[in-house]
Structure 1
Amino acid sequence: MIAVGAALLAVLSIVWHSWRNGISPMPASGPVRRAVAAELLRLGPRGSAVEAGSGWGSLALHTARRCPGWRLIGIENSPLPLAVSRLLARGQPGMRFMRGDLFAYPYEDADAVICYLYPGAMNRLAPLLRQHLAPGACVISVCFALPGWTPARTVVCADLYRTPVYVYVR
Structure 2
Amino acid sequence: MRQRALTRRAVLRGTAAGAVAMAVAGCSAPEAAPPAPKPPDPETVLLTGVIADKEQMVALYRQAVLAGGRPASVLGPFQQRHEAHLAELRRRLPPSPAPTPASPTPAPPSSPPASAPAAAKVSVARLRELERKAAAARPRQIGSVSPALAQLLASIGACEATHAVALARAS
Which category of TM-score, normalised to the shorter sequence, fits these structures?
Answer: under 0.3
Q: TM-score, normalised by structure 2?
A: 0.25
Q: Which has the higher contact order (CA 8 A, sep 6+)?
A: 2
Q: TM-score, normalised by structure 1?
A: 0.25
Which structure has the larger Rg? 2
